[in-house]
Amino acid sequence: MSTSEFLVRLRHISSLFVSLLFIFFISTISTLSVALASSLARDSLTVEYDITVHIDPVAQTIEGHNIISTKSTHELILALSSRFKVRNILIDGIILEQLSMEHGMMQTWRIPDSQGVPRRIEVYWEGKLLPLNTSLNHRQTLNRGEPVSGEFGTFLPDSSGWYPHIVGELASYRVSLKMPHGQRGIVAGKIIKESNSSEGYHALFEFPFPSEGIDFMGGPYTVETDSMYGIGGKKIQLRTYFHPEIKELAHDYINAVKKYIQLYESWIGAYPFSEFSVISSPTPTGFGMPTLTYLGINVLQLPFIRSTSLGHEVLHNWWGNGVYPYYPGGNWSEGLTTFMADYAYKERIGPEAAKEMRLSWLRDYITLSSDQDFALEKFTTRTHGASKIIGYNKAAMIFLMLRDLLGNENFDRALRLFWKQNQFRIASWLDLQRAFEAESGKELQRFFEQWLTYAGAPSVRIAKAVRTSSEFGYDVTVTLEQVGSSYNLHVPVAIHTKEAIEIKTFNLNQEKQTFSLELPNKPIKVTLDPDFRLFRKLTPDEAPPILRQIMVNQDTKTILLSGKGEEREIAEGLAGKLLRRTPEIAVLADISKVTSVLVIGLQDQVRRWLNLNNLPPRPINMSRDGTAHAWTIRQDGVTFIVVSAKDASSLYTLVRPLPHYGRQSYVVFDGAKVIERGTWPAHVQEVILN
């Protein structure tokens, strides 16, 4: 699996979002608007949990007791997974005589309005956990949202309802935990007490901040501990909870975490917690929660994780878990985290690496069909590839454009202000806008409005560029247009002279506008946004085709050059894997009517077919002779993937690896091994001045 494919699997989990969905679900039958409103109000820490729990991964049992103290006096909804048995619910010492209601995976109770008096709700519960299935992938692990347990690991996501909780309220908590000897468990928060003996493992965790929920992780962990001092002199405890087979990675992970905390403390402000832990998971999952990140054993072994995803997860302690997104207005935290982690690391490598990332975002964006595209304000959490392209990449690019507009210093000052003002609060895109306005003195209403509320992207073109001689040298007039849109854009245009390239920024706020400038040296060429700093729809030339474009296109037609037998079956199987659906097989006569074509055949068949259709032969970039080649061609508005193999067995070998190379324009295989790959160069929009 390629680097990018793996990174796509890592995500930040939002348990609040899951709770919100749950609220939405049950609000059709009960009035929960009060609970919902209070969960979204600022400073709404009115609930405290005091949980004592015994988890046995061998027997797969849980037994617990939660004392819920709340200052909220309105009606509350108490919820717990339906798979558990409740022995008793006491409200201020009095048994609640009420049958639970079933809502999907949850059982709920109404806790009546208390006429202004704070309440103490005690719940005793017990039950069986589901067996851990290590063959699940990341998506399945998350989507199931079930409490699973086994000797190799226990994962009780907040969304599984593993402990009795009040729906829609942020809560602080204490968790006192007991597990059998050889097992360790952890929840987000500070360890107050810990003991490990032949009797078993005991630990007490405290999380004094408003929390969106509690996720529990356990396993046969080897724990390494270290510490550092934050900028305010605060001691921060760093830990790894690793399965024995990867325990030698602990040191490197702890050091990497230290560096990230230092980086973001100096960039944003003090680390908000007093600990950070990296925990290994027996399933190939990956996400972050306050004070910790939970990553699959196999993910942790990938060397690039320490230099990319780990930093992203550490940064979520500021954005996401330090300031909570106001989900109904859109989740800004993934975009800001992507910008200040994934993208910032590319900038540190160099301008070319950063440009490559921007280009890949824009290239990915045009693979979206119009029904997959949506306005950024609708993004809450990542559910599929399209939501990442908008919620992470487009949002990150908006922060880049904002920084280009305001300057680095204003931008960073605004981030620090936003952090100071919103720590442990729910904040919206509007709160971000206000911080950027306050520090830059610029009015940014239009900027935020267009990028948050418009779906799609502007298509910007150089309609015309003319050079004339003037008294002082030369005049250049450039006419820019945005086809069918009305964004207010700051468009970078490069003016090339023999000696240098100068980037000018033109403020395009109409559909078509002409800009002039005077130059002492003779300009020979103008190019549009050559560094890809503007979020826009690339033209076909700017975005040379990548395999994914044809793979995700629902209109792609497939041409199989092998007529019959096993060879044809293999080709058809490969087409199905690439397109992730039953391929629509076309005959030659059909291609005049389509725009997206997948062609699969053996080398001679492919050579003949390309020739017959006046298409170029296999490009020289793919000079290496492997056993199979796949590449894209664009001609006369039609995009092709051509897959050509030496023989049927070489074709068969592609079935597993080829779908993972969607971001490439060409790939050369020797057996199942990739020996060459790449993207065709982007051709920026240019006008030669005569």
Query: Which residues of this protein are in contact with Zn ion, per CB under 5 A?
Result: 12, 334, 337
Distances (CA, A) of 417 to 231, 313, 402, 405, 420: 17, 22, 16, 18, 5
Closer to Zn ion at the Cβ: 10 or 630?
10
β-bridge partners, 558: 585, 598
CB 448 within 8 A of CB 433: yes
Closer to Zn ion at the Cβ: 310 or 368?
310
β-bridge partners, 312: none
d(C-alpha 551, C-alpha 690), whole Å:
41
With CA atoms as reference, report the closest residue to 433 among 391, 394, 377, 390: 377
With CA atoms as reference, report the closest residue to 143 among 152, 314, 133: 133
Task: Provide the minimum distance between the beta carbon of 334 and Zn ion in the complex, in angstroms, as a whole number.
Answer: 5
Task: Provide the minimum distance between the beta carbon of 219 and Zn ion in the complex, in angstroms, as a whole number.
Answer: 23
DSSP 305: G
- Find the distance separating the first CA and the last CA of the chain, reported in whole Å: 49
Closer to Zn ion at the Cβ: 107 or 337?
337
Which residue has its beta carbon closest to Zn ion?
12
**Number of other residues whose CB lies within 10 A of the CB of residue 390:** 22
Closer to Zn ion at the Cβ: 337 or 433?
337
Task: Provide the minimum distance between the beta carbon of 554 and Zn ion in the complex, in angstroms, as a whole number.
Answer: 29
Closer to Zn ion at the Cβ: 334 or 481?
334
Closer to Zn ion at the Cβ: 213 or 492?
213
CB 313 within 8 A of CB 11: no
Task: Provide the minimum distance between the beta carbon of 342 and Zn ion in the complex, in angstroms, as a whole number.
Answer: 9
Closer to Zn ion at the Cβ: 159 or 553?
159
d(C-alpha 231, C-alpha 211), whole Å:
24
With CA atoms as reference, report the closest residue to 52 among 218, 253, 205: 205
The CA-based dihedral angle spanning residues 635, 457, 16, 127, taken in that order and rounded to the nearest 10 degrees: -20
Backbone angles phi, psi at 20, to 5 degrees: -65, -40
Task: Provide the minimum distance between the beta carbon of 289 and Zn ion in the complex, in angstroms, as a whole number.
Answer: 11
Closer to Zn ion at the Cβ: 308 or 337?
337
With CA atoms as reference, report the closest residue to 404 among 537, 268, 534: 534
Closer to Zn ion at the Cβ: 12 or 138?
12
Task: Provide the minimum distance between the beta carbon of 400 and Zn ion in the complex, in angstroms, as a whole number.
Answer: 17
**Helix ranges (DSSP H) in 268-323:** 297-300, 309-315
Task: Provide the minimum distance between the beta carbon of 315 and Zn ion in the complex, in angstroms, as a whole number.
Answer: 8
H/E stretch holding 518: strand 512-519
Sign of CA dihedral 414, 418, 419, 421: positive
Closer to Zn ion at the Cβ: 307 or 477?
307
DSSP 292: E
Task: Provide the minimum distance between the beta carbon of 339 and Zn ion in the complex, in angstroms, as a whole number.
Answer: 11
Task: Provide the minimum distance between the beta carbon of 11 and Zn ion in the complex, in angstroms, as a whole number.
Answer: 6
d(C-alpha 495, C-alpha 2), whole Å:
38
DSSP 340: I
Task: Provide the minimum distance between the beta carbon of 161 and Zn ion in the complex, in angstroms, as a whole number.
Answer: 24
**Number of other residues whose CB lies within 10 A of the CB of residue 6:** 21
CB 170 within 8 A of CB 72: no
d(C-alpha 326, C-alpha 330), whole Å:
7
Task: Provide the minimum distance between the beta carbon of 663 and Zn ion in the complex, in angstroms, as a whole number.
Answer: 20
**484's torsion region: left (phi>0), alpha (psi -120 to 50) or beta?**
left
Closer to Zn ion at the Cβ: 337 or 639?
337
Task: Provide the minimum distance between the beta carbon of 394 and Zn ion in the complex, in angstroms, as a whole number.
Answer: 15
Task: Provide the minimum distance between the beta carbon of 256 and Zn ion in the complex, in angstroms, as a whole number.
Answer: 17
Give me the residue label for tokens 């037994």.
Answer: 63
d(C-alpha 374, C-alpha 396), whole Å:
16
Closer to Zn ion at the Cβ: 44 or 211?
211
Quote the tokens at residue 498.
């023999």
| Cα-based angle 467, 468, 471 (whole degrees, multiple of 5) | 135
DSSP 327: G
Closer to Zn ion at the Cβ: 157 or 544?
157
Closer to Zn ion at the Cβ: 218 or 288?
288
Task: Provide the minimum distance between the beta carbon of 30 and Zn ion in the complex, in angstroms, as a whole number.
Answer: 33
d(C-alpha 506, C-alpha 526), whole Å:
13
